[in-house]
Amino acid sequence: MDQSHFCVHGHFYQPPRVDPFTGLIPKEYGADPYGNWTEKIYHECYQPNATVGNFQKISFNIGATLFEWLDQNHPETVRAIVEQEAMVFQRTGVSNAMAQPYFHFIMPLASARDKTTMVRWGIRDYVAHFGRHPQGMWLPETAVDMASLEALADHGIAFTILAPWQAKDPAQDTTKPWRIKLSNGKDMVVFFYNAFLSGEISFNPGASENADGFVHDWLIPQSQTLNRPGDQLIVAASDGELYGHHQPFREKFLSYLLDGAVEKQGIQRQYPALWLRDHPAEGYAEIIENTSWSCHHGIERWRDVCGDAPTAIWKKPLRQFQDRLADSIDTIYETRLKNLIRDPWALRDDYAVVLLGSDKIDTLIQRHTSQSLTPGQASMVKLLVEAQFERLRMFSSDAWFFFDLDRIEPLNALKYAAHAANLVEQATGQDPSDGLISLISEARSELSGLTGDMVFLGYLKKFEKLLRLDQV
Ligand SMILES: [Zn+2]
């Protein structure tokens, strides 16, 4: 008999809010009674969802910057999440957790090399937490192009989840996953989520007030409307923070929905990897490149003005400045390291072991060189690798999401950029931002009049001053 299946995917993520000067998250206003937003959302969402066991009921991914914060601040909750995933794996032989590129990159806007590094670091982060290689990877903002899917497939990733409007065929059947043919000879399986149900759960609080009501009045009618022959799968995807933070107490809705309410109506709880275990994807579909789930103009939101932020003329110069700064940092990195390190980019890819605390930077560098480095050379390599970390972190997509430049996310992006520039200068005496300041001066806050060059140079001075204090 044909069977209906239902899967909820939660994308759990917080941007890196840490201040590179202190390594801590500064006090944030509006997060009362907690010190910062991550802590507030923890108490409203991450902890309660772990407490009611939702991490074995849903499909989920946890961004590395959030995982790191949880590891440091609430390791007991990380243990609970990992145990819940392990129970699913024991029961089914597949995982309900997906990986994510390490930083929240808009992958189509990243260079090929950055795509590789983000995928590799993301996989390492996943393995460090769950103890196995990921089968699925969530793309930040579901931003996609063929090169991003190829980077995933090259690293053994089998599937991802996209919005239905990212399918080339506007009438794409979303009740089963599809194969995307890639130019590297591999396929990527894509689950297109159900836009109606995902939208209702996200934006209509009435839909998620009562789980039985949701099944009866939303899920079943939607399933009957789609009415495809054979088993069918409906996926509802949203930010995980919806459950408890954006919508209070929805962790309870989610818990009962997937542990009673859907089964009572004869619908089976499902995860993408479990579906694929029993229903290998057969048909082929095509995607529209440079699209996402939260910009209705492709991926413009993260590089230029678009209908989602029509006055944000600061975005374009910020993106251009960072692209040029990254190029300049990379040239110095490659030139300085090519005679010391076997493959400087392999060294960068391997840096995840330092981030995850399983290796010291000095040991890592030793592994990547065939010579005995002088203390001066070793210190230069270390600073340049650390600069790479900051220059990657500055591309976290949060910087471009909102309307104005004068917010913590874009300011942090410039802070990470300044830190990267400062580390390169410490290492080599070369300033990678040379000639780029006029570009970033074009990014201006409509609210405060603050300009990008003021912010960048201000941070740069602060880093230089700290360094001088350090040397005293
Ligand atoms: Zn847009």
Residue linked to tokens 């993301």: 122
What's the CA gap between 149 and 151, in Å, rounded? 5
pLDDT in the model for residue 225: 86
Spatial neighbors of 30 by CB under 8 A, at least 6 apart, are 37
Q: How far is the CA of 33 from the centre of ligand 1 (A)?
A: 34
pTM: 0.97
Categorize the per-residue pLDDT at 326 as very low, low, confident or very high, splitting at 50, 70 and 90.
very high
pLDDT of 471 strictly over 80: no
In this predicted structure, the answer to whether residue 26 has a pLDDT above a threshold of 90 is no
CA 237 to centroid of ligand 1, rounded, Å: 19
229 pLDDT band, cuts 50/70/90, is confident
Domain ranges for the chain = 4-278, 302-471
Cα 422 to ligand 1 centre (Å): 33
Instruction: Give the separation between CA 154 and CA 152, rounded to whole angstroms.
Output: 5
- How far is ligand 1, taken at its centre, from the CA of residue 307, in Å? 5
The alpha carbon of residue 92 and the mean position of all alpha carbons in its chain are separated, in whole angstroms, by 26
Distances (CA, A) of 209 to 43, 58, 81, 250, 424: 20, 18, 25, 8, 53
Q: How far is CA 243 from CA 72, 224, 443, in A?
A: 23, 26, 35
If one counts every other C-beta atom within 10 angstroms of the C-beta of residue 165, the result is 14
Phi, psi of 283 (to 5 degrees): -75, 160
Tell me the C-alpha distance between 397 and 399, whole Å: 5
Confidence category of residue 472, pLDDT binned at 50, 70, 90: low
CA distances in angstroms from 28 to 400, 408, 466, listed in the order given:
20, 9, 23
Which whole-number Å values give the CA distances from 169 to 234, 286, 364, in the listed order? 18, 7, 47
Cα(302) to centroid of ligand 1, in Å? 8
Q: What distance in angstroms lies between residue 89's CA and the mean position of ligand 1's atoms?
A: 38
Distance 166 CA to ligand 1 centre (A): 14
Structure confidence by residue, pLDDT tens digits, 124-135: 999 999 999 999
Which residues lie at CB < 5 A from ion ligand 1?
A: 295, 297, 301, 306, 308
pLDDT of residue 166: 98
- pLDDT the model gives residue 20: 79
Share of the chain above pLDDT 90, in %: 90
Q: Which residues share a beta bridge with 4? A: 232
Q: Which amino acid is at 223?
A: S
The CA–CA distances, whole Å, from 301 to 1, 167, 324, 401, 446 equal 45, 20, 19, 6, 17
Cα–Cα distance, 41 to 77 (Å, whole number): 13
Write down the residue that tokens 């700290």 correspond to.
Answer: 466
Q: How far does residue 142's CA lie from ligand 1's centre (Å)?
A: 14
Q: What's the pLDDT tens digit per position in 380-414? A: 999 999 999 999 999 999 999 999 999 999 999 99
Alpha-carbon distance 391 to 407, whole Å? Answer: 19
345 vs 25 pLDDT, higher one: 345
Using alpha carbons, select from 285, 249, 193, 206 the residue that is nearest to residue 6. 193
Q: What is the mean pLDDT of residues 434-445?
A: 97
Give burial (CB, 10 Å; 0-12/13-18/19+) of 195: middle
Strands (E), 200-330: 232-239, 268-269
Average pLDDT over residues 161-172: 97
**The tokens of 230 are what?**
């054979």
Region 221-235: what's the mean pLDDT? 90
Of 227-236, 381-390, 430-439, where does mean pLDDT reach its minimum?
A: 227-236
CATH topology for the 4-278 domain: 7-stranded beta/alpha barrel (3.20.110)
Contacts of 437 by beta carbon, 8 Å cutoff, 6+ apart: 453, 456, 457
Note whether 48 and 247 are within 8 A (CB): no
pLDDT averaged over the chain? 96
